Amino acid sequence: PVEGAPPSERTIVYLMCDAENLYIRFQCFDSQPDEIRSTLRTRDVRTDPDDNVEFILDTFHDKRNAYFFQVSAGGAKGDGLIGPNFFTKDWDGIWDVSVAINDEGWAAELSIPAKTISMGSTHESFGLNLQREIKRTNERIQWSSPKRNTRVFTIAAAGTITGVGTLDQGIGLDIKPFLAVRGSRHWQDREWGGDVEPGFDAVYKITPSLSATLTVNTDFAETEVDDRIVNLTRFSTFFPEKRDFFLEDASIFNFGRSRYSQFLPFFSRRIGLASDGTPAPIIAGGKITGRIGDLNIGILDVLQDEAAGVGLKNLAVVRAYLNVLEESTVGVLMTYGDPRTDGDNVLGGVDFEYRTRKLFGDKVLRAGAFLVGTHDKPAREDILADPDLSDEFGYAYRVRIQYPNDPIQATLRYREVSEEYRPDLGFVRRRGVRDLLSRFEYQPRIGGTVRQIKFGVDTNLIWRIDDGDIETAEFELTPFEVELESGDKFGVEIAPTIERLVEDFEIFDGVTMPVGQYDFTRFKVMVETADKRAVSGKLEAGVGGFFSGWRREIGGEINWRPGGWFRLSAEAEYNDIELPEGHFDTSLVALSLIFDFSPTLSWSVLAQWDDISDSIGINSRVRWIIEPGNELFFVVNHRMATAEDLDAPQDRNFRLRHIETEVTVKLAWTFRF
């Protein structure tokens, strides 16, 4: 917590390599080994509740892209990809780790094959940064640039390692065949179904820094299910990409993403999704990703099968950006195809991202701008049915500047999106608007029991292009948010809001908000306990106006981690909304059970229920990592729709209907050459 102070405990890191692997050993000494938190074992779990170590490898030493690795004292491991304005933990690399706790502390030993990571041809130097977190003292220890403004994710602040030598990446070919056996049962109609789906993925390193990937008969049965969300807005909900094929080298395809934006000219999750929201089979896909000198390039092409009345579709993306200055980039993006209609869609754009961590000596500054245009061509059948339909040309642009430092953080962003902007391989929540966003946070450090206090003001003004009137004005005021030395937090938020509806909005079944302007203010309090405890949680409660009426909300989660073999978490959200147009409430409950039999064998069960879809969804997933790269999955998805039996002559009892079960067994094996 004190910048520049000596760590409370000693840490030694050893780096070694042979012809094929990079080895890293963390020796984390601890004077109180009985207080080491080690409750997590599962692959890709959030390791924050445990003592843990993290590091990044900038294998091209370009100060813009890196691999991320983390290990907890309990043996859980995770990895991810970092790029300009991009981070994902959904990438899974092939590597191994062993962890041990003894009287001196705890140690982790990692083996990272050269075949797992892309790198430059010479291997003369890597960027590297290392971090250790001690949960007992809520302490973060960082090797290179140990300052609050430069977290371990700040690639440009990483140190340099040399002497690695030339690592052998073989001929650079990975072949991963898989077999998925699937069975389904619709219990009400007594219908059975099932199929056997073979397929394979292959990756070939054309050069040490440029890879070609092929997927055939792609199957995503093992992908984690999405968290349910109660959406009380009139805009679509964003769900992140979780599929391995699209996550590999995903940072190269990033365009326009920032921390405060869900505006994506390219969003890979659109691929493989039919117009009715159901999955559309992917027959095959290929991509080339990597680097040629200072040029970063990504080419993606996918063949999507017929689905929901839409014919066979070819979908393509090209992204390239050039490293300029010390940490900045300039690039282009093009997408082609519409996965949800028989029409065509093209998007093209240019962007510039500027970054420096040397402002005023040691401060960070980020700035960027992009311009994109779209051409949307309706399907021939639609034009015949409606001769007034014609091609549409749309545009969007954004400029942004950020000052993400400690104790002051500030952001200013302006964006304009035309009504005709149609990114059919992208994601946009509103069109025909101008958007001005500003954020300011002041977070002084107090010392003693109180570690830090946050004061903040966020403003987001959105107005229509056609008439120039405000559509939304949101103000989020944080009078205070306090973080204690223990890691516990509590705070208050006040949110005055103006919403102008330009068309009627059905906010709930049978409840419609009419056109007009609505002014209201909401108040929210938050309490969060430190996740280092065996039992931890978070509680949020809010009350205040909501459109023409009143809204009361409460939500929270509780986590129980009694040891390294079992975890339980529960989340709930409740809204009680009173409007002149109607009174309704919403509920959402999620329960997660995870059994960690070992770091390579786990069983997770996620049950979710909400009264909007009126259904219970249960996902049961067994994952056995036979060895890194070779895995067996056993997945059960069970859905039960719920409702009152209005036709029953007896009491109107709550009952289950439309019960559907799908069982999938998938085996995937990786052969490396």
Q: What is the pLDDT of residue 220?
A: 75
For residue 160, pLDDT over 80 is answered with: yes
Handedness of CA 339, 341, 344, 346 (dihedral sign): negative
Q: What is the pLDDT of residue 265?
A: 94
CA 80 – CA 98 distance, rounded (Å): 19
Top pLDDT among 504 and 189 is at 504
CA 68 – CA 49 distance, rounded (Å): 18
Q: What is the pLDDT of residue 646?
A: 39
pLDDT tens by residue, 325-348: 988 999 999 999 999 888 899 999
Top pLDDT among 594 and 381 is at 594
% pLDDT > 90, the chain = 61
CA 619 – CA 601 distance, rounded (Å): 17
CA 165 – CA 271 distance, rounded (Å): 40
Q: What is the pLDDT of residue 643?
A: 55
Top pLDDT among 248 and 54 is at 54
Per the CB < 8 A criterion, the answer to whether 521 and 495 are in contact is yes
Closest CA to 337 of 395, 430, 266: 266
Q: Maximum distance among all alpha carbons in the chain?
A: 81
Q: What is the pLDDT of residue 319?
A: 97
CA 639 – CA 187 distance, rounded (Å): 11
Top pLDDT among 81 and 86 is at 81
**Residue 128 to residues 20, 29, 142, 162, 181, Cα–Cα distance (Å):** 19, 21, 11, 10, 42
Top pLDDT among 595 and 87 is at 595
β partners of residue 442 = 408, 455
Q: Give the pLDDT band of residue 259 (cuts 50, 70, 90).
A: low
Instruction: For residues 115-139, give the mean pLDDT.
Output: 87
Task: Evaluate the omega torsion of the peptide bond into residue 240 and state whether it is cis, within 30 degrees of 0.
Answer: no
Q: What is the pLDDT of residue 657?
A: 55
CA 384 – CA 375 distance, rounded (Å): 19
Top pLDDT among 336 and 275 is at 336
Q: What is the pLDDT of residue 45?
A: 86
Q: What is the pLDDT of residue 168?
A: 83
Question: Which ranges constitute the DSSP H helices of 194-332?
Answer: 244-247, 250-253
Per the CB < 8 A criterion, the answer to whether 326 and 63 are in contact is yes
- Phi and psi torsions of 247, nearest 5°: -85, -25
What's the whole-model pTM score?
A: 0.84
pLDDT tens by residue, 503-535: 999 999 889 999 999 999 999 999 999 998 999
**Residue 439 to residues 363, 514, 581, Cα–Cα distance (Å):** 18, 31, 34
For residue 651, pLDDT over 60 is answered with: no
pLDDT tens by residue, 294-303: 899 999 999 9
CA 631 – CA 614 distance, rounded (Å): 35
Q: What is the pLDDT of residue 277?
A: 77
pLDDT tens by residue, 92-107: 889 999 999 999 999 9
Q: What is the pLDDT of residue 654?
A: 42
The encoded tokens of residue 490 equal 């509590």
For residue 89, pLDDT over 90 is answered with: no
284: exposed, middle or buried (C-beta count within 10 Å: 0-12, 13-18, 19+)? middle
The encoded tokens of residue 273 equal 């999704």
% pLDDT > 70, the chain = 96
**Residue 616 to residues 242, 285, 548, Cα–Cα distance (Å):** 22, 33, 32
Instruction: For residues 292-315, give the mean pLDDT.
Output: 91
Per the CB < 8 A criterion, the answer to whether 322 and 294 are in contact is yes
Q: What is the pLDDT of residue 644?
A: 47
Q: What is the pLDDT of residue 655?
A: 47
Mean pLDDT computed over every residue of the chain: 89
How many Å separate Cα 561 from the centre of its chain?
A: 24
Owner of token pair 């054309």: 206
For residue 258, pLDDT over 80 is answered with: no
